Structures are given as C-alpha cells and as structure tokens.
Amino acid sequence: VVLAEVVAVDIGGTSIKASLVGPRGLPSAPVRLPTPVGGGPAAIVDAVARVVGTLRTPGTGAVGCAVPGVVEPGTGVVRRAANLGIVDDLPLGPVLADRLGLPVTVEHDVRAACRAESELGAARSVGDAVVVVAGTGLAAGLLVGGRVVTGTRGAAGEFGHVPVVPGGEPCACGQRGCAEAYASAGGLRRRYRDRSGPDRSGPAPSAPGPTAAELVSRLDDDPLARALWAEACVALGRALVATTALLDPAVIVLAGGLSLAGPLLADPVRAALADGLAWREPPPVVLSAFGDRAGVVGAGLVARDPLRTAERRVVSRCG
C-alpha cells in the first residue's frame, strides 16, 4: 500500500509554516505566513484552510496540524492556546476536515516535534529523550520508555514554567522566575525592550524589541544582547538540570527558532547543565535535525495516523 502525500501545518504564535510531505516523511521547504493572532480563532482557521488549499495535490490524503496549546487527544479540539488567542474550545480538526474534505489530525506542537526527532531526527533509536522547543515560548517533549508523555490533563512537558530564578521576573503564566521568561524568543524580546529604552524610568518604549535572530546577530557588538543571551542559556541549563535529575534521558535535543543559533546556544547550555550537576555526567545536548521545522515534520507524521489506521483495517479485512 502506498502512503499518500500529506500537508503538514505548524501553527506557531508568530508564523504558520506549511509543507507538502512525501511518503518518506520529509517536508518540502515550508511556506511561511504570519499568524493572524489578532483576528481570533476564525482568522486562524481561514489562514490554515487557505494555505492547505495552495499546497494540496490530487494525491494529498490527509492534513496534520501542530498547535501550541492544550489539545484534547483524539478529537482535534484545541482546549486552549494562549499564544494563538484561543481561550475557549475550538474544534479545529473537525472544522478543517469539513472545509477541506480530508482527515485532519491535531497534535500539541511540542509533542509533534518530539515525535519528529524520535522517528526521523536526533533522538532516533533511543527510548528516553527530552526535546526542548525554544521558540516564541518554551516547552519540551518528553520521550520516556519509547512513548511521548502527555500527562493526566495533556499538560506534561510545560518545561518553560519550571522556576529557575527564585522570585525572578514575572511570567505570563502567573508565576515568577520561569525558564520561559528568560529563555524564549518572547522572553528575550520583552527583556531587551524593558532594558533598552532611552529613559528606563519612563513609559515602556513602543518598539517591539528584537527577534531572536536579530538578537543573535548583535551578540558581537551589543553588550545588552550578549548579557540577555547568556542569562537565557543559564536559565535553560538550570531547567535541564531538573529535567535530567527526573528523567535521566539518553539525549537532550534543542529545537525551535532559538536552536538556529547553533553552537552559540548549544555550547553555553551544555556548560550550564554540566555546572548544575555535581553527581553525574550530563546527558549529551545536541541540536535538532530540523531546527525550527521540527513541528512541521511532526505534523506530517501525525497526519498519517488516520491513514495508517485505515490501512490496517484494509489489511485485516484482506487477511
């Protein structure tokens, strides 16, 4: 049985990335468009339906969506996705399936990325791994005993809200000192903006602050960028100390937009992790095989789940 092509969509807090994925699971270069966060859930559904429409071919058999939020397993209902402005249940899978006439599977973006690394990427052939996705926000996919952990309420892997600075900066989640407040593109942008106004006692400057890529490009000649990046790497390393103590992973994979910095991220994070572990060797810290495309690759894998189920039904009927 030949597996069809699928369309994979990673709906991020900043951009939507979509690719046509062939039978081997590797996506074409993604189409990127800004996420219409201000337009509410309907605008996001429209944008996804439109981009799938431009990519699909007559051979397209299914669609997979990766979403940064709480996804009800098996139903395609997004319970909550703060970075997308979704605060009430949104039946994203059923609504898109209706519009597109294709099966649509929805998965938490970080669990999708974890699956991508586990099946095709940097965590292949290991049963225990941590896949950190540092983008607009910060989370981690936890592979334990060969399975991606979901938790009781689908909220496992909220790595970004591990407190790493006692009494530290406020986080959007309501806690203080969370890793995400320091080691995410959103956190870096906010911290840079708060510290760089012409008069820091005055009102906050209106400029949105640099993107992660802009900040990294300034590391050589901007002391503030350098200081905030170093703090981000230490925060990430501290959160990984806690994770390593709890899970003893074979490998830690760094993915998401921040991982595009390469060794500028991996080297200081490795050092911070080693610094925090007195009693054991740190697990290896490697860069994602897919960078900021791990979510798209994972969405392509979950898209195939209903096709595989249908295939098994055909096989068992024939057998």
Residue with smaller CB distance to Zn ion, 108 or 293: 108
Q: Is residue 289 a contact residue for Zn ion (CB under 5 A)?
A: no
Q: How far apart are CA 137 and CA 178, in angstroms?
A: 11
The vertex-119 CA angle with 114 and 124, nearest 5°, equals 90
**Nearer Cβ to Zn ion (182/290):** 182
Beta carbon nearer to Zn ion, 161 or 270: 161
The reply to whether 9 sits near Zn ion by the rule CB under 5 A is no
- Using the rule CB under 5 A, is 211 a contact of Zn ion? no
Q: How many residues bind Zn ion (CB under 5 A)?
A: 5
Sole residue written with tokens 């096989």: 315
| Minimum separation from the CB atom of position 182 to Zn ion (A) | 10
| Residues 142-171 within binding reach of Zn ion (CB under 5 A) | 161, 171
CB of 258 to Zn ion, least distance (A): 17
Query: Does 310 sit near Zn ion (CB under 5 A)?
Result: no
DSSP string, 233-262: HHHHHHHHHHHHHHH--SEEEEESGGGGGT
Residues 6+ apart with CB under 8 A from 246: none
Q: Give the x-and-dash track for 90-129 against Zn ion (CB under 5 A).
A: ----------------------------------------
Q: Least CB distance from residue 165 to Zn ion, whole Å?
A: 11
Radius of gyration of the CA atoms of the chain, in A: 20
Q: Is 126 exposed, middle or buried (0-12, 13-18, 19+ CB in 10 A)?
A: middle
Q: Is 178 in the site for Zn ion (CB under 5 A)?
A: yes
Least distance in angstroms from the C-beta of 161 to Zn ion: 4
Q: Which residues bind Zn ion (CB under 5 A)?
A: 161, 171, 173, 175, 178
